[in-house]
Amino acid sequence: MKGYDPDVLGRHWVRAPADDPGTLAEIGRAAGADFAAAADRVWESDEYVYLPVVVNLRDGELVRRATVVFALGADLLVTLQPTAHFTPFDKALARMRRTPYLVESAHGVMYALLYALNEASERVIDYASDALEAMNDEIATAANGYTDNGREIGVGDMQDTIGRMNRAEEIVSRSQETQLMLARAARRLRADLPMDQVRLAGLLDILVADIDGVKEHASYEHDKVRYLQQSIMTSLDVKQNQIVKVFTIITAVFLPPTLIATFYGMNFTVMPELAWEHGFLTTTLLTLVAALIPLWYIRRKGWLR
């Protein structure tokens, strides 16, 4: 088996910088690739099949998106990619060095590139999964409804957690979109593969299965984050309902005494109770009974639980 030869790779793979219009136009004229006509859609010309893939890339604690457009020809692959160093393709180059026969055809090169993008997407999903796992204690605390100090948890206490969960959901949702694009590109590559490349066909079948597996992982993480979001919101809703119930009970208990106080605050000319020897005590007891009756009724109905 021949070793890895960069010159052979250069005959089958051309990288076109997306942010350098002059170089892009020059490469387009030399290779016959028209990325402007293809835009961001799957498109087929006489010479190339254009397949766009939007990928998610982890950069420290940030996740950014980048677009790569594959122009696959019979014996040449042109990739429209970011001008800056595109780190996912380093792994593709390493794979081609380990498996030199991949550089002998445009289809083999594209297989290695798709393989690397799928690995990068999986790392992003793992990052989102780890972020969700790190929130487990906060989520459990929210579900309990109280902090370790016994203070009730409100919406404001969970804003940061909810915001991070929303960002995790966005990352996972975008990863699902990426996997759909990767699957489409891999299946198209498999369909266009020459019949004599049996070994590469087997690798592509495995790649398609791997892409589908990462997509299932993303779907699982998406379901998990939605469940956790729902759990937090349900716990906070229950807590808010309890607060409203307390205020409702307080209002019900103090409404009759307030009504009695309102009567005695009126400026009537004659109020016989004021002349009674025990008028104040009678009015006080009446007010207390008026407050206890709704409280007794509420406890009987079990609304305090």
Q: What is the pLDDT of residues 79-97, one digit of tens each?
A: 999 988 899 999 999 999 9
Assess if residue 168 is contained within a domain.
yes
Q: Which of 242, 264, 289 is the last residue of a domain?
A: 242
225 and 264 in a single domain? The answer is: no
257 and 235 in a single domain? The answer is: no
What pLDDT is stored for residue 154 in this prediction?
A: 59
259 and 112 in a single domain? The answer is: no
What is the chain's Cα-based Rg? 34
Which residues have a Cβ under 8 Å from the Cβ of 188 and sit 6 or more positions away?
42, 49, 51, 72
How far from the centroid of its chain's Cα atoms is residue 114's Cα? Answer: 23
Assess if residue 102 is contained within a domain.
yes
What pLDDT is stored for residue 277 in this prediction?
A: 74
Of the ranges 25-39, 132-146, 193-207, which one carries the lowest mean pLDDT score? 132-146
Q: Which of 207, 226, 242 is the last residue of a domain?
A: 242
Q: Which of 196, 221, 242 is the last residue of a domain?
A: 242
Domain encompassing residue 292: 243-301
Nearest alpha-carbon partner for 222 in 162, 132, 117:
132
103 by Cβ neighbours in 10 Å (0-12 / 13-18 / 19+) ranks as buried
167 and 79 in a single domain? The answer is: yes
198 and 267 in a single domain? The answer is: no
Mean pLDDT score of the chain, rounded to an integer? 85
285 and 158 in a single domain? The answer is: no
Residue 62 pairs in a beta bridge with 59
Q: Tell me: the pLDDT tens digits for 214-266?
A: 999 999 988 888 877 777 777 777 777 777 877 888 887 888 888 777 777 77
Assess if residue 289 is contained within a domain.
yes
116 and 158 in a single domain? The answer is: yes
Within the chain, strands assigned E span 13-17, 43-44, 49-59, 62-72, 77-81
Domains in the chain, number: 2
Is the pLDDT confidence value at 141 over 90? Answer: no
41 and 100 in a single domain? The answer is: yes
Assess if residue 136 is contained within a domain.
yes
145 and 230 in a single domain? The answer is: yes
Assess if residue 49 is contained within a domain.
yes
Mapping DSSP to helix (H, G, I), strand (E, B) and coil, where does residue 40 land? coil
112 and 205 in a single domain? The answer is: yes
265 and 127 in a single domain? The answer is: no
Instruction: Name the maximum alpha-carbon separation found in the chain.
Output: 117
Assess if residue 1 is contained within a domain.
no
168 and 183 in a single domain? The answer is: yes
